[in-house]
Amino acid sequence: MKNTLQTIYYGLKVYLFPIILFILLFITCNTAFANDWGKTGHRIVGEIAERQLTEEVKEMVYDILDGESLSSVSTWPDEMRSNPDFRPYDKWHYVNLPIDKEYPEIAHDGDNIVRIIERATTILKSPSADKEMKKFYLKYLVHLVGDLHQPMHTGRYEDYGGSKIRLKFKGRKGSETNTNLHVLWDSNLIDDFKMSFTEWSTHLQNKFRKKEILQKNVLDWTFESHWWAKDIYKNTKEGDYLSYDYVYKYQPVLEQRLYQAGVRLGNLLNEIFGEQINLFGGPGIGKSSIAAGITYKLKKKHISCNNPYEFPKRLAWDKNIPAISDQLYVFANQHRGIAECYGKVDYIVIDSPILFSTIYHRYYTDGYPAEFYGQPFHDFIIDLHRKYDSINILLERTEGSHNEKERYQNLEESLAIDNLCKEVLDETNTPYHTIKVGPKTVKDILKLL
């Protein structure tokens, strides 16, 4: 009997115990990876972005996320990857690029990180998208902007963005660990500093406080990450033992990419949820004075806003009718002033809206170059106008609300342009509010905000 028990014990010890131990270790490791990969990095990006938001945009974001912060939702897409229902979204987190090719140079089948960031931006701007859809895509946008700034998320297909390149890493403060190139950049380098995501965020904001971060666009972000991915592949090989020298070499890159991601995400959200206040009406109705009053009142309430210079007025002062008649020229100069404010303030107060280019093109229809601009010009202006989140105000002229000073048009001509404004707004199905011009005009418009 004793020999039998010893035989059974020996069999369990030799064959079963190692299997049980392996299973336990496998479960433990995979659970740790599923829960912890990149958490700190994503929270850094979310925290920096949230610190960039205007107060109005921050409230809109909180409403969509039911009070959650950007840092708290930043890890949600990774956490949901253990849910089989979210398996179709795995490809959203990256785009595989060959070392010698850039994003536009290869064909792309199906979804990838670039396409989803663009889709999320469109959906968040759409008035027809419901709250649940916006919540879903906002969470992904926060996460994916961070992912795209991590160079290995543009890595090669054959090694899964560096996941197959096994390494040993011993940083400045941690113990030696087995890892891979992708995880090294997702978390090992960040965690080596032993800082919380809020400490990281403050550190980066202090460090880069005098450095201008160019916003660029999602394709530019892809180019940047892929450039660094090529450098990282060149300097990191299978089986490398990485330590202090690697940390010091790539720490500036790591910090720059985290900070760029946070600032750009914040700017992008300000752009998505910011608003234009467009004032429509003919010459002399008081658009400039009303715009100045709105700007003054908003600034007095500590709401960031700007009133871009009205380029057509300069032409009117000079009585430069040939230039006014060339609405492509007028549009380009006026839109430049709007674009300079875009994404940087809560409100842009515009007394010469984009849509004026199609309104005035109908007024000045004869002669060169106006006669060369056909329907495609109108379609372009209308499409661009719709891309902006706008509050449109049609000013209703009252008796005495016409100032002929510094104007080329008389009252009769100005009334004709008033009618053209309404006609174009109606034809293009542009939502607008009609406000009478008078002592309470600015107050009435502010009630709409």
String of DSSP letters for 50-64: HHHS-HHHHHHHHHH
Give me the pLDDT at residue 15, please: 53
- DSSP H or E segment with residue 278: strand 275-280
The answer to whether 242 and 170 are in contact (CB under 8 A) is: yes
| Cβ atoms of 285 and 418 closer than 8 Å | yes
Give the right CATH number for 274-448 from 3.40.50.2000, 3.30.460.10, 3.30.930.10, 3.40.50.300. Answer: 3.40.50.300
* Separation between Cα atoms, residue 37 and residue 97, nearest integer Å: 22
pLDDT class for 311, splitting at 50, 70, 90? confident
Of residues 314 and 51, the one with the higher pLDDT is 51
Mean pLDDT of 258-263: 97
Banded model confidence at residue 3, pLDDT cuts 50, 70, 90: low
Peptide bond into 439 cis (omega under 30): no
The residue among 446 and 100 whose pLDDT is bigger is 100
Which of these ranges, 148-157, 208-217, 285-294, 404-413, has the smallest mean pLDDT? Answer: 404-413
Residue 415, C-beta contacts closer than 8 angstroms, at least 6 positions apart: 282, 397
Give the chain's count of helices (H) and strands (E). 21, 8
The single-letter code of the amino acid at 238 is E
Residue 367 has pLDDT above 80, yes or no: no
Starting at the edge strand found earlier in the chain, the sheet holding 433-436 runs 305-306, 347-350, 275-280, 390-396, 433-436
User: What is the per-residue pLDDT for 364?
Assistant: 74
**What's the topology of domain 37-270?**
P1 Nuclease (1.10.575)
- Best mean pLDDT range from 241-255, 291-305, 310-324, 408-422: 241-255
Cα separation, 305 vs 56, whole angstroms: 11
Q: Is the pLDDT of residue 31 over 50?
A: no
Average pLDDT score, the chain? 86
pLDDT of residue 222: 98
Collapsing DSSP to helix, strand or coil, 9 comes out as helix
pLDDT of 403: 65
Across the range 258-272, mean pLDDT stands at 91
- Copy the structure tokens of residue 210: 């005098």
Query: Can you tell me the distance from the alpha carbon of 305 to that of 296, in angstroms, rounded to the nearest whole number?
Result: 9
* Angle CA 165–166–169, to nearest 5: 125
* C-alpha span between 80 and 86 (Å, rounded): 6
Token duo for residue 132: 């649940």
The larger pLDDT score, comparing residue 222 to residue 407, is at 222
Per-residue pLDDT band at 35 (split at 50, 70, 90):
very low
Q: What local confidence, expressed as pLDDT, does residue 1 receive?
A: 54
Rounded Cα gap, residues 316 and 340, in angstroms: 23
Span 121-161, pLDDT tens digits: 989 877 678 999 999 999 999 999 999 999 999 999 999 99
pLDDT recorded at residue 398: 86
The pTM of the whole model exceeds 0.75:
no
pLDDT of residue 204: 98
Query: What's the mean pLDDT in 353-366?
Result: 83
pLDDT band (50, 70, 90) for residue 407: low
What pLDDT is stored for residue 292 in this prediction? 95
**Is pLDDT above 70 for 406?**
no
Q: Is the pLDDT of residue 386 over 90?
A: no
Of 82 and 148, which is predicted with more confidence? 148
pLDDT of 238 higher than 90: yes
Nearest to 143 by CA among 197, 78, 198: 78
The pLDDT value recorded for residue 32 is 33
Least confident of 106-120, 256-270, 276-290, 394-408: 394-408
Query: Do residues 432 and 393 touch, judged by C-beta distance below 8 A?
Result: yes
Length of the chain: 449
DSSP classification of residue 191 = H
Please tell me the predicted confidence (pLDDT) of residue 22: 45
Q: What is the pLDDT of residues 187-203, one digit of tens each?
A: 999 999 999 999 999 99
* pLDDT confidence of residue 29: 37
Residue that has been written with the tokens 């792309």 in this structure: 108
pLDDT at 446: 86
Is the Cβ–Cβ distance between 327 and 370 less than 8 Å?
yes
Instruction: Return d(Cα 53, Cα 276) in angstroms, integer.
Output: 17
- Tell whether the model's pLDDT for residue 400 goes beyond 50: yes
Residues 294, 445 contacting (CB under 8 angstroms): yes
Q: Which amino acid is residue 315, in one-letter code? A: L
Q: Which residue has the higher pLDDT, 220 or 8?
A: 220
